[in-house]
Amino acid sequence: KKVHSLFKEGKTAIIQGVGMPSPNLSHFRAMDIIETGSSSNQVLTKGWVIRALEQEKRNYELNGIVLGNPHLGPLQGDNLKSLSLKNLKFFQRSTKKLQDIKLKELSNFAKENEALRHILNVEKSIQMSSQKVGDMAMEKMEIQGKNFPLKHQIQTALTLIKKNPTLPVLVLSLPGFDTHRTQLGKHNFLLKGLDKGIEALSDGLKKLGEWDSSLILTYSEFGRRVQENESLGTDHGTANVFFALGGKVKGGVYGKGPSLGNLEEGNLIYTTDYRSVYESIHKNWFKFKKISFQKKELLFV
């Protein structure tokens, strides 16, 4: 409902047929590919957001925060400036003990010990991150209505944005879409939850005056197979749909819809390289100049 209303307002872009050459249908490998911005036969160690920030020499106190998932995804890298939070209070309790560590005394021993130097650098980074997050948990953004799958993550995200509007990236996770069995009811529940989450997030951003300066992008590692299986579900597929939403989004339908009459081993053939979505975000949203996936950009922002 909310996504549809935002689409009618011209604030939702629907990107069709998103996929990649030589798709990989393993959850772990496909997610690794799509979150690093790599080719199917390429292994990268840094997320597509972190690589861009480093190449552009954008210096933020924190590059981003991941909620609801211990894996940093597009924020993975070795810069120690990305955080994964279960919740704010948990993070603050977990790092409180480190505040009593006498780092200066240990530093004297670390001069001759490379491993200890690394441990101290990590501990210092964690302490600094805790200070940056600060007392954000003390001033929560309230979300009205009943519980829904993304409610806690969105409440935390809005709290973080309220206290630190320059934070460049937040990643939220909604699991459960691997619907191999009884897909109809599960999909209905999950999509309603996603729609409710987008409603809460967009309303919260508007209250904060950040709707026009925010871009919401949905993504997944792959789509679903066309034909239903014997368990009334669908198996791992290829071409997918991404949604981009925000006050500055140029709404509409982008990309060519995959053909049901032209399948490859029962799967849709992708029509939009997923890296063209990133290309558009890099160039037209973040205004990056150096990094390029050399894919035709989509003008949804």
CA separation (Å) from 236 to 17, 165, 175, 288?
15, 37, 15, 34
Buried b (16+ CB within 10 A) or exposed e, 164-203: beebebbbbebeeebbeeebeebbeebeebbbbbbbbbbb
Question: What average pLDDT score do residues 255-279 get?
Answer: 95
- The yes-or-no verdict on residue 117 having pLDDT over 60 is no
Looking at residue 118, what is its pLDDT? 47
CA distance 104 to 102: 6
- The yes-or-no verdict on residue 98 having pLDDT over 50 is no
Q: What is the mean pLDDT of the chain?
A: 86
For 268-290, what is each residue's pLDDT tens digit?
999 999 999 999 999 999 999 88
With 0-12 / 13-18 / 19 or more C-beta atoms within 10 angstroms meaning exposed / middle / buried, residue 299 is exposed
Question: What average pLDDT score do residues 61-79 get?
Answer: 88
Looking at residue 163, what is its pLDDT? 85
CA distance 188 to 41: 35
Sign of CA dihedral 208, 212, 214, 216: positive
Half-sphere exposure of 244 (CA within 13 A, CB side): 24
Question: What average pLDDT score do residues 178-194 get?
Answer: 95
- The yes-or-no verdict on residue 42 having pLDDT over 70 is yes
- The yes-or-no verdict on residue 21 having pLDDT over 60 is yes
pLDDT band, very low/low/confident/very high, at 147 (cuts 50, 70, 90): confident
Q: Does residue 301 contact residue 285 with C-beta atoms inside 8 Å? A: yes
H and E: helices and strands count for the chain: 9, 10
Looking at residue 37, what is its pLDDT? 96
pLDDT band, very low/low/confident/very high, at 108 (cuts 50, 70, 90): low
Comparing CA positions, the residue from 228, 225, 205, 230 lying closest to residue 216 is: 205
pLDDT band, very low/low/confident/very high, at 129 (cuts 50, 70, 90): low
Percentage with pLDDT > 70 across the chain: 82
